[in-house]
């Protein structure tokens, strides 16, 4: 059997939790590039020798350049219940990011109103509510400063498109490597330094609390400039 191009952290009859690689879309888009949802379906179909279509439900997304933990549903019931948790904000989503510069406040809650240009796929953060805007809230904490960049822990309270990227840009600290939002001044040719390192949710059937944590690629720039396990208690991905 062909080894899948992603790491499986957990799988049962109802869900599959994987590490999304950076640079691939969560689901198919107009680029036509290989996407994670299709890869998971293909893997299950080949591994289990299933005829016909395989059901895998997408219940949340990560931006194409962002890597980290994602959960997918394997049944329609699990998909509906997980979607409810994401919609109600009952799921904990934490990110590590490296930002350019140093935030003025060591820790803060950021609250903005985001609009999105569908033609350019670029969001904009506003201080006050404007037409067609959606409220975006996150908490961040600066962990360590190293030569013009800062390691930051981010917890998303809402789940808006490009939220962490555009909100950190709004306070003058774009994410390292972010070509859309001005974070590539020090980072030409490097991946976006935004990683979904923790996902916590209630199992849609068993009702147990599920917690998954993974390191970003710590050997790569800019992660290698920080001792990540000094700040975050995470487990490295399991190689299944």
User: Which of the residues are catalytic?
Assistant: 63
Task: Count the Cβ atoms, other than its own, within 10 Å of residue 33.
Answer: 12
- The SS3 assignment for 86 reads helix
Please check whether residue 155 is in contact with residue 108, taking contact to mean a CB–CB distance below 8 angstroms.
Answer: no
Closest CA to 114 of 128, 97, 101, 100: 128
30 closest CA partner among 164, 165, 121: 121
211-214 contacts, C-beta under 8 A, 24 or more apart: 212/9, 212/10, 212/17, 212/69, 212/71, 213/69, 214/7, 214/9, 214/19, 214/68, 214/69
> How far apart (Å, rounded) are the C-alpha atoms in residues 163 and 23?
18
Distance of CA 234 to the CA centre of its chain: 15
Closest CA to 94 of 154, 181, 33: 154
Closest CA to 23 of 214, 236, 217, 202: 217
CA 163 from chain center: how many Å? 10
Find the Cα–Cα–Cα–Cα dihedral 228, 210, 88, 140, rounded to 10°. -10
């Amino acid at each position: 059997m062909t080894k899948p191009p992603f790491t499986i952290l957990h799988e049962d009859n109802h869900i599959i939790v994987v590490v999304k690689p950076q640079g691939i879309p969560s689901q198919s888009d107009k680029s036509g590039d290989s996407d994670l949802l299709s890869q998971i379906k293909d893997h299950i179909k080949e591994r289990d020798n299933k005829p016909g279509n395989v059901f895998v439900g997408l219940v949340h997304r990560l931006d194409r350049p962002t890597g980290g933990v994602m959960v997918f549903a394997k049944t329609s019931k699990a998909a509906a219940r997980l979607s409810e948790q994401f919609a109600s904000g009952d799921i904990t989503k934490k990110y590590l990011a490296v930002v350019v510069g140093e935030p003025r406040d060591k820790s803060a809650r950021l609250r903005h109103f985001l609009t999105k240009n569908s033609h350019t796929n670029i969001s904009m953060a506003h201080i006050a509510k404007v037409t067609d805007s959606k409220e975006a809230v996150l908490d961040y904490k600066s962990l360590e400063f190293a030569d013009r960049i800062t390691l930051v822990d981010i917890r998303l309270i809402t789940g808006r498109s490009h939220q962490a990227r555009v909100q950190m840009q709004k306070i003058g600290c774009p994410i390292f490597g972010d070509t859309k939002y001005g974070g590539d001044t020090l980072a030409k040719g490097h991946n976006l330094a935004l990683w979904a390192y923790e996902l916590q949710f209630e199992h849609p059937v068993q009702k147990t609390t599920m917690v998954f944590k993974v390191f970003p690629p710590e050997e790569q720039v800019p992660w290698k400039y920080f001792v990540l396990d000094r700040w975050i208690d995470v487990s490295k991905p399991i190689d299944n």
